[in-house]
Amino acid sequence: MSFRSRLTLFFLLIVIVPMLSVAVVLFRLIADNERGKADARVAQAQTAAINLYGREVERAGVAAGRVGRDEELARALRADDRVAAARRARELLRRQRIRRISVVRDGRTLVDVGARTATASAVREIVGRNRRPVGRLRVSSITAAEFTRLAHQVTGLEVAVQRDERTLATSLLGVPDRPLPRVGTIDVDGREYRAAAFEARGFGNQELRVAVLYDTEEISSEISSGRILALVILAIFLVLAFAFATVVSRSLQAQIGRFLEGARRLGGGDFSTPVPTQGGDEFAALGEEFNHMAAELETRLEELRQERARLQHSIRRIGETFASNLDRDALLQIVVNTIVDAISAGAGRAVARDRPGAPLEQRAVAGNVREYGGAIRAVEAKAMETGEPAATADGDVHALAHPLRPDDGAVQGLISIARAGAPFSPDARDLFHYLAAQASVSMENVDLHELVQRQAVTDELTGLFNHRRFQEVVDAEVERARRFEQPVGLIMLDIDDFKNVNDTYGHQQGDVVLREVASVLRANSREIDEPARYGGEELALALPQTDLEGTYLLAERVRTAIEELDIPRVDRRGTIRVTASFGVAALPESADGKDTLIAAADAALYQAKRAGKNRTERASRAPTKAAPAK
């Protein structure tokens, strides 16, 4: 047996076999540990969801107390006036942000208004003045979908709510309509999730099952990371063991002394002095292999230095991506730089449209695009014509282009690259198209983010700002008016007899009326004005830098324009006309703050209603505060 064979066998017996055994044990321990942590997180999330549901039941109990003390509702129930009771219940829904109210007496449902998916309810008895029960009140302050979103935000896991084996709401698309396990796994669209569920009482006697879901792919990822770390540690141990075996082998034969000296030079980074290869035995052959390895190592080390520089640059670019993932131009610049570096292109650029139908404009550039201008323009024209990725060659200049387009298929931009010399390899082309496709997805995410931002402050029916945005605007304008001692006006308007429109022509006609009136309000507003839908058929308009008289004049102009509207009927049988009543107020003439300003405009609006409708009333002047005695 040769020296190499003996050394190999010795190394296998004392190092490799024990390392394999340790690796098997470590891998098993890592997997068990990660699964245990996943189960603990699911249990913790389940506890949080249970506590969250209990808190919502307590909120419903507080809301039920307020509703139960409402005298107008109790009076309607005592009179057995279901219509009045339902109307009052709807008002309470809107004012107190309650999702559902029901009242049952002697087994008969007197009132049931609000969302059918409301959950986490509380019960109170409504008692009359003579202490006799008027009805059994049940109130809910949250729907199943709202609870699902809230629980998802709190726990960080996916959440699903089921009733009668049917999924009411979920934060994870694809949850099947079959019972969720109390503890176990469930398959959703081909992905396995660990689930932990608990039973809860819904609205009334409805039985609900609420489950938290944890993606097992995350467990697999953690297991893989742990195993990679274990492999790295074992590899380090293997390297150390090899070095130790090399040192021990020196005592076995003095013949390898010069070889070891050469090996030490190689270990110190000196690749200029080759290892002696005298003789024809295994050590000479090994010396030749070491000399060959030295040359390869020198080449590899240079490649590693270059790769390290590229890696550091990529890490910095990733950091820039995190900081600019909602900035189109910055995102495109990072993508173009990454593509040019990744596939060794000479230059590249990105062009995009501001909006559909607009011309393409250059948004990002890397390298000297002018040097390859002809090839880049040619490949971009080809990609625009076909709507597909394209490649062209102009002499020794090669170019690639990839269209950026959303799901509707319209091309919104292009990413193109070019270089002189060797054509792009299939792997380089695949990488280019992959990165460009990811850029297209990122652009869609930016558009979606902007759309969500707009929807968060916009009323879907009228296109005006919603109530929350209106409150923020009035807060800001009142604060600005105080700071700079400028007036700010407020118009509150309500469509006259709007209920009759809904009752006579239907709610779709009512929606048309609201949109037409909102269009008039928007058309008569300045760029700095803030039209909003205050609630129901009531609209509002904040007027910065406008006093009471200016506010009144604008309100009259809007009122006249509404009065002259010919609104088409949805059944195409002619048109209808509507009028509106207006209340105007201004700071500082009518109020001294936001709440008093809104209250003053609202009081003027109801004064206009009482005075005959289709008119504008000014708010009364705010009382002057007496100066403090000196």
pLDDT digits (tens, 9 = 90+) for 568-615: 999 888 899 999 999 999 999 888 888 999 999 999 999 999 999 999
pLDDT (0 to 100) of residue 610: 94
pLDDT (0 to 100) of residue 314: 56
Q: pLDDT tens digits, residue range 222-251?
A: 777 777 887 888 778 777 776 766 665 654
pLDDT category, 322, cuts 50, 70, 90? very low
Query: Average pLDDT, stretch 297-317?
Result: 63
Domain ranges of the chain: 1-252, 272-323, 327-450, 467-618
- Give me the active site residues, please: 537
Least confident segment among 190-194, 215-219, 232-236, 241-245: 241-245
pLDDT (0 to 100) of residue 55: 92
Return the structure tokens found at 397. 């200049």
Pick the CATH number of 327-450 from 3.40.640.10, 3.90.600.10, 3.30.1490.150, 3.30.450.40: 3.30.450.40
pLDDT category, 310, cuts 50, 70, 90? low
Assess contact for 493 and 438: CB atoms under 8 A.
no
pLDDT category, 626, cuts 50, 70, 90? very low
pLDDT (0 to 100) of residue 192: 86
Strand 100-105: give its sheet, edge to edge: 108-114, 100-105, 133-143, 118-127
C-alpha triplet 133, 136, 139: angle, nearest 5°: 140
Nearest alpha carbon to residue 161 among 153, 175, 174: 175
Name the 3-class secondary structure at 186.
strand
pLDDT category, 538, cuts 50, 70, 90? very high
pLDDT value at 455 more than 60: no
Query: Average pLDDT, stretch 309-336?
Result: 61
Query: Average pLDDT, stretch 365-387?
Result: 88
What's this model's pTM, rounded to 2 decimal places?
0.37
Report the C-alpha gap between 140 and 206 in whole angstroms: 13
Name the 3-class secondary structure at 210.
strand
Nearest alpha carbon to residue 345 among 413, 265, 401: 401
> At residue 305, what is the residue type?
R
Pick the more confident residue, 11 or 538: 538
Pick the more confident residue, 13 or 175: 175
Q: DSSP class of residue 98?
A: -
pLDDT value at 555 more than 50: yes
Report the C-alpha gap between 205 and 413 in whole angstroms: 56
Least confident segment among 157-171, 271-285, 341-355: 271-285
pLDDT value at 80 more than 50: yes
Report the C-alpha gap between 155 and 158 in whole angstroms: 8
Q: pLDDT tens digits, residue range 612-621?
A: 999 999 998 7
Query: Average pLDDT, stretch 75-88?
Result: 86
Positive or negative CA dihedral for 138, 144, 145, 147? positive
pLDDT (0 to 100) of residue 321: 54
pLDDT value at 133 more than 90: no
pLDDT value at 324 more than 50: no
Phi first, then psi: what are they for 179, rounded to 5°?
A: -60, 130
CATH number of 467-618: 3.30.70.270
Query: Average pLDDT, stretch 282-308?
Result: 70
**Helix, strand and coil in the chain, % to nearest 5:** 55, 25, 25
Report the C-alpha gap between 296 and 366 in whole angstroms: 34
Return the structure tokens found at 456. 């968060």
Q: DSSP class of residue 255?
A: G
Name the 3-class secondary structure at 489.
strand
Q: What residue spans of 71-116 are helical by DSSP H?
A: 71-78, 82-96
pLDDT (0 to 100) of residue 629: 38
pLDDT (0 to 100) of residue 427: 87
pLDDT (0 to 100) of residue 282: 65
Nearest alpha carbon to residue 535 among 576, 494, 479: 494
Least confident segment among 125-139, 293-307, 381-395, 407-421: 293-307
Q: Which helix (H) or strand (E) holds 348?
A: strand 347-352
Report the C-alpha gap between 465 and 401 in whole angstroms: 41
pLDDT (0 to 100) of residue 126: 80
Mean pLDDT, the chain, as a whole number?
82
The CA radius of gyration of the chain, in Å to the nearest whole number, is 37
Query: Average pLDDT, stretch 176-186?
Result: 84
Secondary structure string (H, E, C) spanning 477-535: HHHHHHHHCCCEEEEEEEECCHHHHHHHHCHHHHHHHHHHHHHHHHHCCCCCCEEEEEE
Report the C-alpha gap between 573 and 569 in whole angstroms: 6
Return the structure tokens found at 591. 């109020």
Report the C-alpha gap between 532 and 88 in whole angstroms: 25
Q: pLDDT tens digits, residue range 199-209?
A: 888 887 788 88
Helices 3-11 and 216-249: angle between axes, nearest 10 degrees: 140
DSSP letter for each residue of 5-50 = HHHHHHHIIIIIHHHHHHHHHHHHHHHHHHHHHHHHHHHHHHHHHH
pLDDT value at 271 more than 70: no
User: Hunting for tokens 């170019």 — which residue is that?
Assistant: 399
pLDDT (0 to 100) of residue 627: 38
pLDDT (0 to 100) of residue 13: 72
